Structure 1
Amino acid sequence: MMRFTSCLRAMLVAGVCAAAGHAMASPETIGSVDTVFKLVGPDHKIVVEAYDDPQVKGVTCYVSRAKTGGIKGGLGLAEDRSEASIACVQVGPITIEKPIKQQDEVFSERTSLLFKRLRVVRMVDTSRHALVYMTYSDRVIEGSPQNSVTAVPVPAAVQIPVR
């Protein structure tokens, strides 16, 4: 009974964490490629997902990352690798309706059942009139220094209100 209760508690915590991260932004899957064939369960793959910046209209970030397959991956129990790549681009007129923070997490997605997340942080480079986006992976105990960065120049006519 004790084992069942702790397992149930872990699943509840995972659900709450997933719901909290999901409220930030829902990615749109653009596509994927298989990297390793798995006889049982889904193949290992690299997925490309698009995230629209919720506070900066006209900017979309494309993140590519590894997704672990196999039985554990199919059940959502595998831990995905920490490597990810990001490219953010202007896809329409850039508008910023409310002041944004100098540095703010704009996307977060779970990459293991409980402890690991893929994060995208937006930073404002006021001297170059640009938005800088960085992706990295972290864990509750120890994160990874692997990261990827991209920048989107903001047209001079557009104010970047920073709070």
Structure 2
Amino acid sequence: MDEIEEKVEVSKKNEMDYANKAKGVYASIKEHLTVEYRKQYNIRRLVGCLLMFLFIRYMGSTSETDSLISRHSTVPLIWTVIAFIFWHYAYWSYQGGVIDTFSRNIIYVGSIWSLIWKIVVQNIVIQIWIAFIAPISGIKTWRKAVKHNKILFVNNDKDDVWK
């Protein structure tokens, strides 16, 4: 009887240990971003991750009656949650890169409405791309920040209006 009680106590201790480790990792993820940077871009992050989920979810769908919540949604949902958590890190590593420089330097020709359409579509595609690479690029950037004990920020020369 004592052996069973000891096993139950050990398993409860291990469960609590995993929960504490997960809380520590999440705290570290938040810790390596400045408060101002964490407050910025939340709408972009939400829209980008939501559109990425819908794109991944229905990209391989063969059935027209396939609902949004099903067993086929498991992997896209996990990918989206990880992307949502690490989105700021992926965005930080994206800035100043090849794709960012190319997209900023495109010259548009056409009517005003086609220019607006191209800019909106371009920004939506970029947000989906950042959300798609966030589980890979974001984790890699976060690990570098932890390794070098750096706090990431975006210097956009604007005052924080939310203070």
Fold equivalence (TM over 0.5): no
Structure with the bigger RCO (C-alpha within 8 Å, sep 6+) is: 2
TM (norm. structure 1) is 0.30
Task: Look at both structures and tell me which one has the larger radius of gyration over its CA atoms.
Answer: 2
Structure with greater helix share of residues: 2
Q: With structure 2 as the length reference, what TM-score do the two structures score? A: 0.30
Q: By percentage of residues, which structure has more strand?
A: 1
